Chain A
Amino acid sequence: MSAASFLCELDAGRGFPDARPGQFVHVRTPAGVTLRRPFSVAGVTGRGRFELLIRERGCGTRSLAALEAGAPISVVGPLGNAFTLPEPQRIAVLVGGGIGVAGLRLLAGRIAGDGGRALLLVGATTGSELLHHVLPGETEDGRIRLRVSTDDGSQGLRGTVCSLLERELDGLPVSGVRIYCCGPRAMLSSGARVAIAHEFPCEVLMEEVMACGVGACRGCVVRTRHGYRAACSDGPVFDASEVVFEEESVA
């Protein structure tokens, strides 16, 4: 695991529904902050049991990291929509930047478990921040392949994960690819641009500051071609061609 990231398992009881890839849970952190924190479900390990991949970023995530094993915690979920699963004949290309790998891990596991084909592209600023090792490993038959990139070139391709995506797409069949992106906003924007230029279907998992988590407060909206949509209840997964990434003029 990279310096400030950790994988944890939660047991929400057998009545807690299994999350689908892309869905999230809303966690009340011990920090006592105003808002819950949304985390992608990064793995399902049993009935009501699931994993989160968390990077320590502020007081909320730090307080979670400091929890002892077995400590009780309040979780709402699973919430939001889910990725469109790849058709069996397609190659799924999963593009994860930084902690964005968390949003793709359940999907990657599902594809690997179902015997599907996936190309996993993982990027980070530097080698020690790469999270590719939490994803399913490469298979000898080439069904699951993995490539990494780092901004400083310390591991894998030097550059962004989207430049890696562009390079890898050139070798893939035009009609048989479905792309999934999760990571910082700038990465999603360029991932969407690359996918659209290649005319591949592409979904992006949007991360926004959230309050209610269920579509009530309209706080976490994403600008789309059809107007504002709530990341929590209309998303967090959006079709890449629907999202308007360009900046709006500030009031």
Chain B
Amino acid sequence: MPDLTTRIAGLSMRTPVMLASGTAGYGTELRGLVDFGCVGAIVTKTVTPAPRAGNSPPRLAETPCGLLNAIGLENVGLAAFLEEKLPAAAALGPPVIVSIAAEDPGAFARLAAAVGSRAEAAALEVNVSCPNVARARRPAWDDPVAAGAIVRAVKASTTKPVLVKLSPNTADPEGMAEAAEEAGADALVVANTLPGMRIDVEGRRPALGNVTGGLSGRAILPVNLALVWKTAGVVSVPIVGSGGIGTADEALEYLMAGASAVQVGTALFADPEAPASISRGITERMKSDGVESVAEYVGMAREGTWRETIRAA
């Protein structure tokens, strides 16, 4: 029987298919829609120290093969999260990875300590890549020094595994990945959404209340896949691929590029059964390939004989 068990950063998951932050709420909203038995881990909506109201609506705009969002990290805040949301999420079954964001390394550290002290939190995902809340001209997602300081502060405050979610919005993705690894990241999530916007022509105004938003969905798959390929070549910590995945073969593309696991987000909106169908599809592929453990696919496309073929040609 093909084995889908996936281990990253000391975390054991039944499948390599995780639910991406922001799309799965606090997990419980998807009860009855998503088969949690096929979910490797749930990444919660990003939690901040205080509650956040989020951005002005409209917050969503559909695009060809994609979706723009500018939610603005609306969340209940740390206290309510620990009190109500985290225990309920943990009761769903899969390990719960808590996405966190704060203003500066000190606030990140306090948040990480509070979340990390809870048994229900299997790991933390550091969100240094939300495109919808930044004010700085050079935000942390494109600043290896700033991102490194945040990751170091978080690592010093918790013994839980720390995943760092990187942004595609940088000229030097390898440098950002290396900075996160050097700062102690146990795994990297590659990557968040791409910046984008649309204009409501009839209303003569930006379609989103925040003007710009983050582009997700099928449209960004080739972009984030290339980022996984690039970053997997320079770091040794595991990579979690994210961006536009809706089918088993799309998940396998990320694995073969070097990701150890994947996150599914936007696909859940049209197809809440995606985690189940992706897991099933990977199992089918493993049977026909004669592959026993899904881990065998990780980086498979990096090693093939195609390199020699291309050089010869």
Chain A residues with a Cβ under 8 A of chain B: 28, 33-36, 74, 76, 208-223, 227-228, 233, 248, 250-251
Distance (whole angstroms) from the CB of A244 to the closest CB of chain B? 11
B210 at the binding interface (Cβ < 8 Å): yes
With a 10 A CB-CB cut-off, give which of A36, A209, A251 has the most chain B CB atoms.
A251
**Interface 1/0 per residue, B56-75 and A, CB below 8 Å:** 11111111011101010010
Instruction: Tell me the minimal C-beta distance from B228 to chain A in angstroms.
Output: 22
Contact indicator B69/A250 (Cβ below 8 Å): no
Cα–Cα, bound, A36→B66 (Å): 12
Q: Please determine whether A217 and B269 come into contact, CB atoms closer than 8 angstroms.
A: yes
- The interface size bin for chain B is 35 or more
Q: A34 and B205 in contact (CB under 8 A), knowing A214-B33, A216-B23?
A: no
A251 touches B23 (CB 8 A): no
Q: In the complex, are the beta carbons of A222 and B57 less than 8 A apart?
A: yes
Task: Say yes or no for B158: interface residue by CB 8 A criterion.
Answer: no
CB-based contact A28/B66 at 8 Å:
no
Q: How far is the CA of A210 from the CA of B62 in the complex (A)?
A: 10
B residues less than 8 Å from A76 (CB atoms): 33, 272
Whether B62 contacts A35 by the Cβ 8 Å rule is yes
- Chain A to chain B contacts (Cβ below 8 Å), 14 pairs: A34-B62, A34-B67, A34-B266, A36-B269, A209-B60, A209-B62, A212-B23, A212-B30, A212-B269, A217-B25, A218-B74, A223-B56, A223-B57, A250-B209
Across the interface, B217 reaches (CB within 8 A) one of A34, A219, A228, namely A34
Are A34 and B57 in contact (CB-based, < 8 A)?
no
Which residues of chain B in 36-82 are interfacial with respect to chain A, using CB atoms and an 8 Å cutoff?
45, 53-63, 65-67, 69, 71, 74
Which among B24, B58, B205, B210 is the interface contact of A251 at CB below 8 angstroms? B210
Confirm or deny: B289 has a beta carbon within 8 angstroms of a beta carbon on chain A: no
Q: Report the minimum CB–CB distance from A72 to chain B (whole Å).
A: 14
A36 to B33, CA, bound (A): 14
Question: In chain A, what residue has the closest Cβ to B206?
Answer: A250
A228 with B53, Cβ < 8 A, contacts A33-B62, A214-B33 known: yes
Asked if residues A217 and B66 are in contact (CB atoms below 8 Å), the reply is: no
A35 CA to B268 CA, complexed, in Å: 9
A228 lies within 8 A of B74 (CB):
yes
Cβ–Cβ contact B29 & A208, under 8 A: no
Supposing A34-B270, A35-B62, A251-B55 touch, asked if A217 and B69 sit within 8 A by C-beta, the answer is yes
A218 to B26, CA, bound (A): 11
Q: Which of A35, A216, A223 contacts B30 (CB 8 A)?
A: A216
- Asked whether B55 lies within 8 Å of A227 as measured between CB atoms, the reply is no
Contacts of A216 on B, CB cut-off 8 Å? 23-26, 29-30, 45
- The distance in angstroms between the C-alpha atoms of A127 and B270, with both chains bound, is 36
CB of B211 closer than 8 Å to a CB of A: yes
How far apart are the CA atoms of A33 and B22 in the complex, in Å? 20
Which chain A residue has the least Cβ–Cβ distance from B219? Answer: A34
User: How long is the Cα–Cα vector from A123 to B107 in the complex, in angstroms?
Assistant: 54
Structural contact, A28 and B209, CB atoms closer than 8 A:
no
Q: Is B271 an interface residue (CB 8 A)?
A: yes
Q: Which residue of A lies closest to B267 (CB)?
A: A34
Verify if B230 is at the interface (C-beta below 8 Å from A).
Answer: no
Q: Verify A217–B22 contact, CB threshold 8 A.
A: yes
A residues in contact with B74, CB < 8 Å: 218, 221, 228
A223 contacts across to B, CB distance below 8 A: 56-57
**Which 5 pairs of residues, A with B, have the shortest CB-CB distance?**
A216-B25, A216-B29, A219-B60, A218-B74, A248-B56
A158–B205 Cα distance when bound, in Å, is 30
Which residues does chain B contribute within 8 Å of A213, judged by CB atoms? 269
Q: Does the CB pair A28–B25 fall under 8 Å?
A: no
Which residues of chain A have C-beta atoms less than 8 A from B280's C-beta?
Answer: none
Contact indicator B29/A221 (Cβ below 8 Å): no
CA distance A153 to B313 in the complex (A): 73
Which residue of chain A lies nearest to B71 when distances are taken between CB atoms in the complex?
A218
Asked whether, in the complex, the Cβ of A227 is within 8 Å of the Cβ of B60, the reply is: no
CB-CB under 8 A for A212 and B210, given A219-B59, A219-B71: no
- Which residues of A sit under 8 angstroms from B58, Cβ to Cβ? 208-209
Name the residue among B58, B63, B205 with the largest chain A CB count within 10 angstroms.
B58
- State whether A34 touches B54 (Cβ < 8 A): no
Tell me if B218 is interfacial: C-beta within 8 Å of chain A: yes
**What distance in Å separates the Cβ of B51 from its nearest Cβ neighbour in chain A?**
9
Q: Are B61 and A209 interface neighbours, CB within 8 A?
A: yes
Residue of B with least CB distance to A60: B62
**B269 surroundings in chain A (CB, below 8 A):** 34-36, 211-213, 217
Q: Is the CB of A34 within 8 A of B22?
A: no
B30 touches A214 (CB 8 A): yes
**B23 A228 Cβ-Cβ under 8 A:** no
Known: A34-B269, A76-B33, A216-B23. A221 touches B205 (CB 8 A): no
Residues of B within 8 A of A36 (CB): 269-270
* Max chain B Cβ within 10 angstroms of own Cβ: one of A211, A220, A250: A211
| Contact partners of B270 in chain A: CB under 8 A | 28, 33-36
A221 near B67: Cβ-Cβ < 8 Å: no
A33 CA to B266 CA, complexed, in Å: 11
Residues of B close to A208: CB separation below 8 A: 57-58
A218 engages B29 (CB within 8 Å):
no
Q: CA–CA, A218 to B54, complex, Å?
A: 9
